[in-house]
Amino acid sequence: MIFNKRKQKEHSIDMTRIPTHIAFIMDGNGRWAKQRKMPRTYGHHEGTKTIRRLALEANQLGVKAMTVYAFSTENFKRDTKEIEYIFKLPKEFFHLYLKELIDNNVQIRYIGHLEMSPQETQSIIKDAVFQTSKNTGLILTFAFIYGGRDEIVETTKCICEKYKNGEISLDDITEDYFEKHLMTTDLPPVDLLIRSSGEYRLSNFLPWQLAYAEFIFDETLWPDFDEECLHRAISIYQGRERRFGGVLK
């Protein structure tokens, strides 16, 4: 199902049924910039403002976890200049917003192969994680050089190693055990997946964690995705009946 920003203006939210974990595929930065005859990188720059805006709003609403797809393992296929630009964004983002995020009790985390990014990018992200590690509000996770299939393969290898060393038996390998060994470890499962820009794909994002999530595809391009879009998505989510494989009540 796809929704157009202009069709709905106000959206009531039941504050007692706020999704615990919302994941975002932040799509449409390039098109947003192109519409303005600007380079694609300008769209990514503006896209970081949306992350800040939604993190603060989600935190206010009592969402426990928000995960954003900042760079996929497949994004290495892009032009080198664009990749280099995206790798510099954490520096700008945390320079501008880390203090505010700390003041709002937000915890920063990352999943993915951070080690494949420049040293400075790694230090900046790790420092933000460290500085916010004692916070107890929204957990804002950046999926950075992340790929869902890769995560499952890496987890499988890690568990095989434990089995090989005799640390665990085959019966220890349950869904819960596997889940705890994913990069998302103790994060709750995703309740709501939102993809901006009218694309209907998962693009290798959190395939395990999204197993029972509700999906919302919104036409809005990511730099324009605002609090109202988030409210609309939550309101639609609340209107759906989640059955987790059971039957209608």
Rule CB under 6 A: choose which of 90, 137, 147, 148 binds ligand FPP. 90
Q: Decide whether 144 or 205 has the Cβ nearer to ligand FPP.
A: 144
- Tokens 């995206």 sit on residue: 86
User: How far is 102 from 134, CA to CA, in rounded Å?
Assistant: 10
The answer to whether 26 and 47 have CB atoms below 8 angstroms apart is yes
**Per-residue contact track with ligand FPP, 42 to 81, x per CB under 6 A?**
--x--xx---------------------x----x------
CB of 20 to ligand FPP, least distance (A): 23
The stretch among 16-24, 25-33, 202-210, 238-246 that binds ligand FPP (CB under 6 A) is 25-33
DSSP 195: E
What is the total count of residues that contact ligand FPP (CB under 6 A)? Answer: 19
CB of 68 to ligand FPP, least distance (A): 7
Site for ligand FPP in 140-179 (CB under 6 A): 142, 144
In which order are the strands placed within the sheet that holds 139-146?
Answer: 2-3, 214-218, 192-195, 21-25, 65-72, 139-146, 107-111
The answer to whether 52 and 98 have CB atoms below 8 angstroms apart is no
Task: Please identify which of the residues 27, 29, 59, 191 carries the catalytic annotation.
Answer: 27
Q: Is 86 in the site for ligand FPP (CB under 6 A)?
A: yes
* DSSP-H helix ranges across 36-166: 40-61, 80-103, 119-131, 148-164
**33 Cβ partners below 8 Å, 6+ apart?**
39, 40, 41, 42, 43, 46
Q: Decide whether 145 or 236 has the Cβ nearer to ligand FPP.
A: 145
Binding stretches for ligand FPP (CB under 6 A): 26-31, 40, 44, 47-48, 70, 75, 86, 89-90, 93, 142, 144, 197
